Amino acid sequence: MKRPVSIIIIVLISLFTVSCSITPMKTNTDSNDIKTESNGIKNDNKGTTSRKKTITINALVPKGNSNLWYYNNMGAVKLPEGIELNLLSTTDKDALAIEPDKIITKLLSHSNEFDIYFIGSDQEFAKSIVDKGYYVDLLQNDKLKAYFDKMYPQIKKWSMSGDKVFGFPTSLWPDAHMLMREEQLKKLDYSIDDLKTFADVLEFNNVWRSSKYRSEIGKGVYASMNEVFPYIIKSYLLSHYDYGRMYEEVDTKEFRDLLKGVKDLSKNTEFGDWNKFSSEQNYLSTLPVGIFNLYPIYLSQSDGGEMVPAPVPLVGSETPGKYSMPVSFYIINPYSDNIDAAMEVMVQIAEMSKHLGMRDLLYKDMESYQCDNKDCQYGDTLTKIYNDKKMFSYMENFYDKYEMYFAFPGMEDILVTCSDYMQDNITLDEAIEKIKQNISVVQRENAQ
Amino acid sequence: MGNMKFKQALVFLIPSLAGLCIFYIIPFIGSLYYAFVSGDAQSRWVGLGNFYALFKSNMFLIAAGNTLMFMLIIVPVTIAISLIFSLLAWNSKGMEGIFRSVMLTTYVMPTVAVMLLWTMLFNRAGTINSILGILDLQPVAWMDGSNMRWPIIFMFLWKNIGFNMIIILASLNAMPKEVYESSLLDGAGWIKRQLYIVIPEIIPALIFVAIISMVNSLRIFKEAYILVGPYPTDSVYTLQHYMYNQFKVLNYNHVVASSLLFVLAITLIVGVLFIYEHRIKG
């Protein structure tokens, strides 16, 4: 009798040790008669009966996040007959909505708990989700295909993996860009065209700081949200990232100059205190010149003088790359029981994108949306502002100069290292060594 | 009679076993399927392909080697130090309680706080290097390259020896006193008494300590992660680093396959120890 008990104890100890290290997996045990195939995955659609279908959307943000006005307005959409929405992130019961790791776990276990989910290209797991096929090709739906055909070609390209569209873009923002007030520039005999390189930006910063206009305005030149500086580094890393050559790329004079330059910029900047301003509008209108990491929608709210937007010049002339333009997507869960209904909801999301301000960001030649109820008035107001401020041409210009890059594994840790260097916790050499180490591990872990 | 005792033991074991089954064993068995399928959304059957990929992976081999290395260093050193300290405490009349309290303090301290403390001790301008400077010795880059494993090992030992001491001291106190007292009367010296009388009596406790230390050494990830993050130098890159990072890129099939190998290795080692214990008792 003792021997079996010993064996059981041995196995239990082993399993206990390992179970602490891995995430439990769950298998989808639903069984249904009707099978459809999407993206190579057999789906068990729960019947074609006339009962109401609930489409569950799992976002990554809680209700009230102003950046997700688009998402939060979904409840106002008129859905097709027989479909209702269950917005997980707008209820208290679902804490996983704000924890991306839990969404990964659900996808890996082929969960059908949600039909549509939300990811941003700047999340480290986003590329793996797309590469491994955890989506349904939206081009299967003719109505959605029509929307994608009218999008700016760059945005459509960013939404595609091979010849399939993996998700519907819902928000996009340039990682770092400059807003210049022309009249301020003129006072210093500068124009936006003089700031072509990152070195020009650094030099202009010094010119501004030593000018008499500084005291007149009472602010630093590059007043901005603090996180903008890491974004400049992030853009460089993303635009140069390649599993095969990144290891060498970070140990270059170019990258060292970038780190030193950004550190210098951050040390010599008097930040505007965001909290002191009643609104983004107030904040932007007070600034003479700034570097931002903001949703384009905020730019449309500025007033108090003509602002000239421009990308922050990239470091280096030999391998300039492009600045990063993160994009968020709604994606249909390939293990959903209601893929057809989820497609219909996606059509509604696309329809919403014609108003609420997104039309101007996504579509090149989409016909105007006829606002016939109060739910779309806010969007139409924004559209008017966009028109007044020539935001169409502004964004078009940006789509040529920016690129959507997926975050790569380990990127967040590299940015933490850069931040440590900028805060004088480590030296430049130590930072470079640590980043090289980070990239070396990632490269070898993912080597085929 | 034996059967009756087994049934009684089972009654007490059932709550724990039920928890283990529900939260560990069943999910683990459920996840085994993923060791044999592809890591994409289609989950195609690939047989032993994932295991083949693991053994071709440079980082998996480094991780497995480091995990084994940590175990080979930590287990004997932990047992030796715990045993020496326990014997000292047991033999020092009236001081055992103080010894035990002091040593156990390290075990109950949160790992994060301990790691911050040890970082202050071992970083470039830390206390250890300051002492080396006073002694006119060259400072050591403890946090770089292969040196990095030593602060982690020191910290692990410092933190876990107290718990092992409690187990060994309990065994020492439960030991029959007659044999020990006879050896005293026969004039055996202190070292001989410990080697030939005391240690053989507490072998089962030492085997238990060995198993616990081994299991803990295989889970040294927490310390390394806090100290150097998820992408450390090769010298402290363990199997848990590999699993954690593979999960982040959704290679869950590799995570499960490496876990399975991990289970087999631990089962084998623990099994050998149990057989050894059984033979000694026999």
**Least CB-CB distance to A25: which of B34, B243, B266?**
B34
Q: In sequence order, which ranges of A241-290 are alpha helices (DSSP H)?
A: 246-249, 253-267, 280-286
Chain A residues closer than 8 Å to B28 by CB: 15, 18-19, 22, 24
A12 touches chain B (CB under 8 A): yes
Euclidean distance between CA atoms B281 and A244, whole angstroms: 58
B221-276 pLDDT, tens digit each:
777 888 788 899 898 899 989 999 998 888 989 999 999 998 898 889 888 888 88
Higher per-residue confidence, B203 vs A397: B203
Q: Does residue B202 surpass a pLDDT of 50?
A: yes
pLDDT at A139 over 90: yes
Are A273 and A302 in contact by the 8 Å Cβ rule? The answer is no
Distance from CA of A164 to the nearest CA of B (A): 15
pLDDT at A131: 93
CB atoms A14 and B270 under 8 Å: yes
**Contact state of B250 with A445 under an 8 Å Cβ cutoff:** no
DSSP B174-198: HS-HHHHHHHHHTT--HHHIIIIII
State yes or no: pLDDT of A281 exceeds 50: no
Q: Whose CA is closest to A9, among B51, B275, B158?
A: B275
CB A219 within 8 A of CB A209: no
Q: What is the mean pLDDT of residues B188-200?
A: 83
Shortest CA distance to A290 belongs to which of A277, A426, B1?
A: A277
Q: How far apart are CA B12 and CA A274, in angstroms?
A: 60
Residue of B nearest to A440 (CA): B231
Q: What angle do CA B54, A122, A245 make, to 5 degrees?
A: 55
Instruction: Check whether A222 has a pLDDT greater than 60.
Output: no
Mutation target among A10, A42, A43, A131 for the B interface, most CBs of B within 10 A: A10
Radius of gyration of chain A (CA): 25
pLDDT at A333 > cutoff 90: yes
Instruction: Assess A334–B contact: CB distance below 8 Å, yes or no.
Output: yes
Q: How far apart are CA A144 and CA A165, in angstroms?
A: 10
Q: In whole angstroms, give the CA distance from residue B270 to residue B255.
A: 22
Residue B51 has pLDDT above 90, yes or no: yes
pLDDT at A70 over 90: no
Q: Is A286 on the interface with B (CB under 8 A)?
A: no
Nearest Cα of chain A lies from the Cα of B282 at a distance, in angstroms, of 13
Shortest Cα distance, chain B CAs vs residue A288, angstroms? 40
Structure tokens at B187: 């004039």
Instruction: Give Cα B227 to chain centroid, integer Å.
Output: 18
Q: Do B25 and A12 make contact, defined as CB atoms within 8 angstroms?
A: yes
Give the one of B2, B251, B256 whose C-beta lies nearest to A22's C-beta. B256
* Contact (Cβ atoms closer than 8 angstroms) between residue A366 and residue A354: yes
Q: Is pLDDT of A407 > 70?
A: yes
Contact check, Cβ <8 Å, A444/B39? no
Cross-chain residue pair A108–B252, CB shorter than 8 Å = yes
pLDDT per residue as tens digits for the range A19-50 = 444 443 333 333 333 344 555 565 554 444 45
Three-state DSSP at A311 gives strand
**pLDDT surpassing 70 at residue A4:** no
Reported residue count of chain B is 282
Contact B266 A11 (CB under 8 A): no
Mutation for testing the B interface, residue in A22, A23, A125 having most B CBs under 10 Å:
A22
A290: contact with B, CB 8 A cutoff? no
Amino acid at B260: L
- Give the residue, A102 or A126, on which the prediction is more confident: A126
How far CA A89 is from CA of A124, A352, B281, in Å, comes to 21, 19, 59
A39: left (phi over 0), alpha (psi -120 to 50) or beta: left
CA distances from A147 to A75, A139, A350, A363 (A): 21, 10, 7, 8
Structure tokens at A324: 């990063």
Three-state DSSP at A23 gives coil
pLDDT of residue A62: 47
- Chain A hits for B242, CB-CB cut-off 8 Å, are 445
Q: For chain A, what percent of residues have pLDDT higher than 70?
A: 53
- Rounded to whole angstroms, the Cα distance separating A263 from B184 reads 72
CB contact (8 A) between residue A132 and residue B250: yes
**How far apart, in whole angstroms, are the C-alpha atoms of residue A50 and residue A54?**
12
Supply the pLDDT for residue B81: 92
The one-letter code for the residue type at B176 is: P
Identify from A6, A17, A127, A130 which residue to disrupt to test chain B contact, counting B C-beta atoms within 10 A and taking the largest count.
Answer: A17
Where do runs of H (alpha helix) occur along A142-252?
142-149, 153-158, 182-187, 198-210, 213-217, 228-240, 246-249
Q: What is the pLDDT of residues B117-141, one digit of tens each?
A: 888 888 777 888 888 888 888 888 7
Please indicate whether, in this complex, the C-beta atoms of A104 and B245 are within 8 angstroms of each other. Answer: no
Nearest to A158 by CA among A119, A125, A121: A121
Q: Give the distance from residue A63's alpha carbon to the nearest chain B alpha carbon, in angstroms.
A: 26
Name which of A2-6, A179-183, B97-101, B118-122 the model is least confident about.
A2-6
Exposure on the CB side of residue A143, measured as CA atoms within 13 A: 10
Q: Say if residue B105's pLDDT is above 80.
A: yes
User: Could B25 and A24 be called an inter-chain contact, meaning their C-beta atoms sit closer than 8 Å?
Assistant: no
A249-259 burial: b if 16+ Cβ within 10 Å, else e: bbeeebbeebb
Task: Give the ipTM.
Answer: 0.80
Does A95 score more than 70 pLDDT?
A: no
CB A325 within 8 A of CB A119: no
Q: Mutation test of the interface with chain A: which of B32, B250, B255, B276, choosing the one with the most A Cβ atoms within 10 A?
A: B250
List pLDDT tens digits, range A159-212. Answer: 999 999 999 988 777 777 776 666 767 777 887 778 777 778 777 777 776 766
Q: Mean per-residue pLDDT for B64-90?
A: 90
- A446 Cβ under 8 Å from any chain B Cβ: yes
- A106 CA: distance to closest CA in chain B (Å): 11
CA distance A15 to B263: 6
**Between A and B, how many residue pairs show a Cβ–Cβ distance under 8 A?**
146
- Name the CA radius of gyration of chain B, rounded: 23
Output the pLDDT for position A31. Answer: 33
Residue in A with minimal Cα distance to B271:
A10
- For residue B101, is pLDDT > 70? yes
Predicted confidence band of residue B146 (pLDDT cuts 50, 70, 90)? confident
Scanning A125-164 for CB atoms below 8 A from B yields 125, 128-129, 131-134
Which helix (H) or strand (E) segment holds residue A399: the answer is helix A391-401
Q: If you measure CA to CA, which chain A residue comes closest to B264?
A: A14
Range name among A269-278, A336-345, B249-258 with the lowest pLDDT average: A269-278
Start-to-end CA distance of chain A, whole Å, equals 48
Across the range A395-416, mean pLDDT stands at 84
| Number of neighbours of residue A66 by Cβ within 10 angstroms | 10
Put simply, the answer to whether A11 touches B242 (Cβ < 8 Å) is no
The more confident residue out of A295 and A9 is A9
Most trustworthy range by pLDDT among A118-122, A350-354, B60-64, B93-97: B60-64
Query: What are the phi and psi torsion angles at B86 (to 5°)?
Result: -65, -45
What is residue B153's predicted lDDT score, i.e. its pLDDT?
Answer: 87
- The whole-chain average pLDDT of chain A stands at 70
In this structure, the dihedral spanned by the alpha carbons of residues B175, B177, B178 and B183, taken in order and rounded to 10 degrees, is 100
Question: How confident is the model at residue A360, as a pLDDT?
Answer: 58
CA distance A331 to A333: 6
Candidates A218, A216, A214; CA nearest to A205 is A214
- The torsion angles phi and psi of A222, rounded to 5 degrees, stand at -100, 45
The nearest CA of chain B is from the CA of A395 a distance in Å of 32
A77 contacts chain B (CB < 8 A): no
Name the band, by pLDDT with cuts 50, 70 and 90, for residue A156: very high
Question: Distance (Å, rounded) from C-alpha B242 to C-alpha B61?
Answer: 10
Beta carbons of B205 and B170 less than 8 angstroms apart: yes
B250 contacts in chain A (CB < 8 Å) = 104, 107-108, 125, 128-129, 132, 134
Residue A348's nearest CA partner among A80, A20, A15 is: A80
**Average pLDDT over every residue of A295-319:** 57
Cβ burial of B224 (10 Å; 0-12, 13-18, 19+) is buried
**Cβ-defined contact of A125 to B271 (cutoff 8 Å):** no
* Residue A345 CB neighbours (<10 A): 24
Residue A100 has a pLDDT of 66
pLDDT score for B179: 79
Count the helices and strands in chain A (H runs, E runs): 20, 14
- Residue B145's pLDDT band, with cuts at 50, 70 and 90, is confident
Query: What's the mean pLDDT when you consider all of chain B?
Result: 86
Residue of B nearest to A135 (CA): B41
Separation of alpha carbons A127 and A161, rounded Å: 10
For residues A28 and A438, which has the higher predicted lDDT (pLDDT)? A438
**Alpha-carbon distances, residue B59 vs A131, A437, B56, B65, B124 (angstroms):** 22, 13, 9, 10, 28
Angle between helix axes B96-108 and B58-91 (nearest 10 degrees) is 160
pLDDT of residue B258: 93
Indicate if the alpha-carbon torsion angle A420, A61, A95, A107 is positive or negative: negative
Choice among A225-234, B199-208, B226-235 with the minimum mean pLDDT: A225-234
Q: What is the secondary structure of A82-132 as a DSSP string?
A: TEEEEEGGGSTT-GGGG-HHHHHHHHHTT--S-SEEEEETTSTTHHHHHHT
